[in-house]
Structure 1
Amino acid sequence: MYAGFDYGTSNCAVGVVKNEKSNGGIELLPLEAGNPFMPSALYSLAKELIPENVGLSIENPEEKEAYIRSRSGFLEQARRVRREEGINDQDQSLYFGNAAFDQYFSFPGQGYFVKSPKSYLGASGLRPEFVSFFEDIVSSMMIHVKQQAELNLADTIQHVVIGRPVNFQGLNAEQSNRQAIDILTASAKRAGFKSVEFLYEPLAAGLDFEARLTEDKTVLVVDIGGGTTDCAMVRMGPNHRTQQVREQDFLGHSGERIGGNDLDILLAGRELMPLFGMKSKLKSGLPMPTQVYWDAVSTNNVSAQSSFSSQKTELLLDQLAMDAAEPHLLDRFIALREEKQNFHVVRSAEQCKMMLSTTEADFVDLSYVEPGLGQEISRAQFAQAIERPLAKMSALMDEAIAQAGCRPDLVYLTGGSGKSLDIRNMVAEKLGQVDMLDGNHFGSVTAGLTVWSRKLFA
């Protein structure tokens, strides 16, 4: 069996062809409580238990033996943690998707939680042990997703096409792309996929859209996901979709690590972090240092999270609390750090962002940090917070159009962040009279990956 697998920054999804013999339509398989979209999140009772879960789940004997040999030290750490924490072998130790969020919200300050691990895969300067750890996180998630998909499919998925952004990172793009693809490939193999291929996500989204075109068009595909913005200029339509070789139809593409997560982070930083002292002053009259606040909300940045959780930051915050003109704000920030609630704050900003697509203002409830704490945010404040990433997204559209050397006949806007009113207005203002059509903001990439998997493996 073959499938398309969107291991996304925000969500995971798997698509298959309903009936291969009759060339049936695309179906997205339920992954969580009947929903085809599972949030890309993992919670473990202890991070040392993640490689243990991978080792126990690998089915191929040779792959399993090689993995256990390469992770012997980590697996010994897992056994030690179980003994010290009193965690039985029968106890569930890993949770995925919404269940991961539930555990994180229910037990603040405990366990290990990670959201959007795809954002980390291309990070520069990762030491080998960090690369191995991210492989284990991705492997655990892929194993779980594959198991859930096959449970609903009642068949085994052996061949898969996985989506990838044009660039995982802006800096050292070639090296970071290679690192990320290597991690995804190793993880997919450990999950049990025999054949693994990759396709650019904007092209995948375009393939899904192309099936509905009744005449040939030059289309600008704008895929604004959680972690990246990817643009592609593609010739599409009835005279193109039957061609086996499509390279000549791909006229230009661009991409950068700027997406919905960055909008959430900027909103959290500008509008919520002041509740924790970000815009306050020291007793000396000097402004409060801000980098530690940006580290807190930069939940998609490995080095920022490492810095925020370090002893150096702990000592810095203790000193700032003594020097602060409003020490209660720093005490609140210190409590947030100790309870590991920075991910929760960014999640609250994300929910506010979604509400502001349909309303002029939204109240962000932060009572999980402190009773009665919260902040109202207007659509105008959100628009001001995201000016810089919008400018970058606009520049990526320019780059793809310039490579193609022609204007698009229409724009196909997809990706979860494509629902944002501010982003839609930016695209509409930029391209004037060019028609803008919407895709399935969460499912178009998966559907296109499935179309491509049929071309490769059927």
Structure 2
Amino acid sequence: MASVSSSSDLPRDFCAIDFGTSNSAVAVPDPQRPGAMRLVALEGAHTTMPTAVFYFAEGRHDADGPPRAFGRAAVAAYEEGTDGRLMRSMKSILGSSLIDQVTDAGGGRGVKYIDMLSGYLKRLRRQAAVDGVEPRRVVLGRPVYFVDEDPTRDAAAQHSLMTAARAVGFEEVQFQFEPIAAAFDYEQQAQREQLVLVADIGGGTSDFSLVRVGPDRVSRIDRREDILSNHGVHIAGTDFDRHIELTGILREFGYRAMGPTRAGQTPREVPSGIYFDLATWHLINTCYSPQRVLELRNMKHFYGDPRHHQRLMTVLEERLGHELAHRAEDAKIAVSGGGDCQIDLGLIESGLEVALSERAAVDALQADIERIAAAGRETVARAGLTPSDVDALYLTGGSTGLRLLAERIAADYPSATQVRGDRFASVATGLGLHAARVFAQ
């Protein structure tokens, strides 16, 4: 990360956190480079960490709470079959009624979703310690909208995130829009004044900001006049995973299937609620309640193909919902650059596999891709400008690795220079630059 003030040392009591739906990152003052910031190694040499927590079913509470693993260790514990519960996409809960509800964390333990989120932030704060001192001030990234078209819930989402940050020891909390932070990262390489449209397509939201950047502006603390517009939609990588799972996997389990043919009756479609919940990370665990499993077990007569019902019950009774979601995500990644893949579902039924082509994935995601592209055009229109006024398109966020999505967004700005940032670290880098400016005194 580039230096933001080469003339003096920065105070060391602050950090910047990119708390992402899929991955998170932290920037802190660099004690080896006066005035500069650096990304923290969160797991080994990795400067990003999956936004994941695994609650172990066994073990005792300690001063930090129930026995847990974070990041890659959390995912590994789940994949190794350790008894417990994996939580991902926790950011998606912000602004929902789930935030203060208690959920089963395994081993007979109940935990509030807000406490899950706070525990993860506490881990990041601890990792941000410089010379053993944990920061007391923080800039947190936030999407343009936590919740689309609902200002009250959006404000509640930010308030919940601030409450969680204060609960783990941050005394001063400031927010910055994630795509604007990415613009600050891009600005480090800008050789002249430009209008840059930042497309930050992550795990939970697709955010756009139109920002004026340039070498003469980089040192300014107040950049409000340079932010021409911002807009976003609550559609991104986890939604892509959901569509892939529904259309590419769960059809083999009865999704959109028809019931049996009976004399004098038109076959009806199998009820779909269970499938949408199985394809939504933070709702998967709700599918395993004894009452719901019993209800679905008694719905065998709804299915025209008994194999569908049998496979569904295997998923529910053996708690394999998260594994299906994980395989849908892997399949999306496998076809993202073009080509086909085979999804191995042998853990459900010997020999069961599903083919997924890039074309089928695109068909499943087409409506979402178009809504994301429309959000970019709307961002430019809100500034009173046209696509031809955009000098550069800066693509960041993990989901920009989906080739056809990136190409679709870029097609609206044919005269703009297309630049790809670090998909997982651009926002954290920009948040660090911003934090250094606002906390420099």
Following superposition of structure 1 onto structure 2, how do residues 340-355 of structure 1 map, counting pairs within 5 Å? 340-355=319-334
1:241 aligns with 2:241: no
Report the alpha carbon displacement of residue 23 of structure 1 after superposing the two structures with TM. Answer: 2.2
Q: Which runs of 5+ in 2 are unaligned?
A: 1-11, 104-110, 262-266
1:289 match: 271
Q: Which amino acid aligns with 1:119?
A: S
Determine which structure has the larger helix proportion and give its number.
Answer: 1
Q: Which amino acid aligns with 1:104?
A: Y
1:399 match: 378
Local SS of the residue matching 1:355:
helix
1:232 match: 209
Contact 2:274 2:287 in 1 (8 A): yes
Report the alpha carbon displacement of residue 170 of structure 1 after superposing the two structures with TM. Answer: 1.6
2:137 match: 159
Q: Which amino acid aligns with 1:247?
A: R
1:33 match: 44
In structure 2, C-alpha distance between the alignment counterparts of 1:93 and 1:385, rounded to whole Å = 39
Following superposition of structure 1 onto structure 2, how do residues 205-354 of structure 1 map, counting pairs within 5 Å? 205-284=182-261, 285-300=267-282, 304-305=283-284, 308-310=287-289, 313-354=292-333
Q: Which amino acid aligns with 1:112?
A: R
TM-score normalised by the chain length of structure 2: 0.87
1:112 aligns with 2:90: no
Contact 1:47 1:112 in 2 (8 A): no
1:79 match: none
Contact 2:99 2:114 in 1 (8 A): no
In structure 1, C-alpha distance between the alignment counterparts of 2:245 and 2:29, rounded to whole Å = 40
Report the alpha carbon displacement of residue 355 of structure 1 after superposing the two structures with TM. Answer: 1.7
1:169 match: 147
Q: Identity percentage over the alignment? A: 28
Q: Which runs of 5+ in 1 are unaligned?
A: 59-91
In structure 2, C-alpha distance between the alignment counterparts of 1:452 and 1:435, rounded to whole Å = 24
1:195 aligns with 2:202: no
In structure 2, C-alpha distance between the alignment counterparts of 1:428 and 1:375, rounded to whole Å = 31
2:24 match: 12
Q: Write out the 4+ residue segments of structure 1 that deviate beyond 6 Å after TM superposition.
A: none
Local SS of the residue matching 1:274:
helix
Following superposition of structure 1 onto structure 2, how do residues 74-153 of structure 1 map, counting pairs within 5 Å? 93-107=67-81, 110-123=83-96, 125-126=97-98, 128-129=100-101, 133-150=112-129
Contact 2:142 2:177 in 1 (8 A): yes
**What CA deviation, in whole Å up to 9, does each residue of 1:88-128 have, x standing for no partner?**
xxxx72111122122223337x42221110011111x4474
Q: Which of 386, 394, 403 does residue 412 from structure 1 map onto?
A: 394
Q: Which amino acid aligns with 2:91?
A: K
Report the alpha carbon displacement of residue 154 of structure 1 after superposing the two structures with TM. Answer: 4.5
In structure 1, C-alpha distance between the alignment counterparts of 2:135 and 2:99, rounded to whole Å = 33
Report the alpha carbon displacement of residue 310 of structure 1 after superposing the two structures with TM. Answer: 4.7
In structure 2, C-alpha distance between the alignment counterparts of 1:416 and 1:118, rounded to whole Å = 15
In structure 2, C-alpha distance between the alignment counterparts of 1:386 and 1:180, rounded to whole Å = 27
**What CA deviation, in whole Å up to 9, does each residue of 1:159-180 have, x standing for no partner?**
21110001111252x2222222
Q: Which amino acid aligns with 1:111?
A: G
Local SS of the residue matching 2:69:
strand
Contact 1:134 1:183 in 2 (8 A): no
Report the alpha carbon displacement of residue 378 of structure 1 after superposing the two structures with TM. Answer: 0.6
Contact 1:163 1:198 in 2 (8 A): yes
Report the alpha carbon displacement of residue 427 of structure 1 after superposing the two structures with TM. Answer: 1.2
1:68 match: none
In structure 2, C-alpha distance between the alignment counterparts of 1:243 and 1:22, rounded to whole Å = 19
- CA pair 424-192 structure 1, distance change in 2 beyond 3 A: same
Report the alpha carbon displacement of residue 346 of structure 1 after superposing the two structures with TM. Answer: 1.6
Q: Which amino acid aligns with 1:177?
A: D
Following superposition of structure 1 onto structure 2, how do residues 373-452 of structure 1 map, counting pairs within 5 Å? 373-406=352-385, 407-452=389-434
Contact 2:54 2:69 in 1 (8 A): yes
In structure 2, C-alpha distance between the alignment counterparts of 1:41 and 1:141, rounded to whole Å = 8
Aligned residue pairs, count: 413
**What CA deviation, in whole Å up to 9, does each residue of 1:190-228 have, x standing for no partner?**
222222111100001111111110100011111001000
Contact 1:57 1:143 in 2 (8 A): no
**What CA deviation, in whole Å up to 9, does each residue of 1:319-351 have, x standing for no partner?**
332332221221111121223322221221111
In structure 2, C-alpha distance between the alignment counterparts of 1:392 and 1:402, rounded to whole Å = 15
1:45 match: 56
